[in-house]
Amino acid sequence: MKYNNPVIKGFYPDPSVCKVENTYYLVCSSFQYFPGVPIFESKDLINWKQIGHCLTRRSQIELEKINSSGGIFAPTIRFNNGRFYMTTTNNSTQENFYVWTDDIYGEWSEPIYVKQGGIDPSLYFEDDKAYFMSSGTDDNGVDGIVQCEIDIQTGRKLTPSLVIWTGSGGRFLEGPHMYKINGMYYLVAAEGGTEFGHMVTYARGNSPYATFEEYSHNPVLTNRNLGGHEIQGVGHGDLVQDNMGNWWILHLGFRQSGQWQAYHHLGREVFLTPVTFYEDGWFKAGENGTTIKCFETDKIPNSVVQNEKKCYTFENTKWDREGCYLRIPHGENYKIKENSISLKGTNITLDEADSPTFIGLRQKDFNMYISCDVSISDGEAGITLYMDENHHYDLALCKYDNKYEVIVKLNVGEIKHVKKSVCLENDNKVSLIIHADNNCYNFCIKTEDKEVNLGRAQTKYLSSEVAGGFTGVIIGLYACGLSGYNYAEFTNFKCDYF
Is the pLDDT reported for residue 445 higher than 90? yes
Q: Range(s) for CATH 2.60.120.200 in the chain?
A: 311-497
In which element (H, E) is residue 387 found? strand 379-388
Which ranges of 188-332 does DSSP label H, i.e. alpha helix? 319-322
pLDDT tens for 43-55 read 999 999 999 999 9
Rounded distance between C-alpha atoms, residue 48 and residue 271, angstroms: 12
Return the pLDDT at 427. Answer: 76
Contact 343, 363 (CB under 8 A): no
Nearby residues of 280 by Cβ (< 8 Å), 6 or more positions away: none
How far is 280 from 183, CA to CA, in rounded Å? 12
CA dihedral 137, 141, 146, 152 (to 10 degrees): -90
pLDDT in tens, 21-38: 999 999 999 999 999 999
Residues 6+ apart with CB under 8 A from 282: 204, 215, 216
378, β-bridge pairs: none
2-296: CATH topology = Tachylectin-2; Chain A (2.115.10)
If you average pLDDT over residues 455-459, what whole number do you get? 97
Helix (H) or strand (E) holding 465: helix 464-467
69-99: burial string, b at 16+ Cβ within 10 Å, e else? bbbbbbbbbbebeeebbbbbbbbbeeebbbb
pLDDT in tens, 325-358: 999 999 999 999 999 999 999 999 999 999 999 9
pLDDT band at 371 (very low <50, low <70, confident <90, very high): very high
Band of pLDDT at residue 448, cut at 50, 70 and 90: confident
What average pLDDT score do residues 207-213 get?
94
Confidence check: pLDDT of 221 > 70: yes
Q: Which residues belong to CATH 2.115.10.20 in the chain? A: 2-296
Q: Which amino acid is at 146?
A: V
The tens digit of pLDDT for each residue in 173-186 reads 999 999 999 999 99
Residue 278 contacts residue 290 (beta carbons within 8 Å): no
Query: What is the Cα–Cα distance from 247 to 71, expressed in whole angstroms?
Result: 32
Q: Could you give the CA distance from residue 128 to residue 152 in angstroms, rounded to a whole number?
A: 9
Instruction: Measure the CA–CA gap between 204 and 419, rounded to whole angstroms.
Output: 56
List the beta bridge partners of residue 232.
254
Containing 467, the helix (H) or strand (E) segment is helix 464-467
In this structure, the chain runs to a length of 498
How far apart CA 35 and CA 49 sit, in angstroms, is 16
Average pLDDT of the residues of the chain: 96
Rg of the chain taking only CA atoms, in angstroms: 23
Strands 143-150 vs 415-423: parallel, antiparallel or unpaired: unpaired
| C-alpha 199, offset from chain centre | 18
- The predicted model gives 273-295 an average pLDDT of 97
Residues known to be catalytic: 14, 174
- What integer is the mean pLDDT of 104-123? 97
Does the bond joining 6 to the residue before it have cis omega, within 30 degrees of 0? yes
Is residue 306 within 8 Å of residue 294, measured between CB atoms? no
The contacts of residue 182 (CB under 8 Å, 6+ apart) are 281
Model confidence at 484, pLDDT cuts 50, 70, 90, reads low
Residue 490, Cα to own-chain centre: how many angstroms? Answer: 25
Note whether 362 and 370 are within 8 A (CB): no
Tell me phi and psi for residue 36, to 5 degrees: -100, 145
| Residue 464, H or E segment | helix 464-467
Provide CATH code, domain 311-497: 2.60.120.200
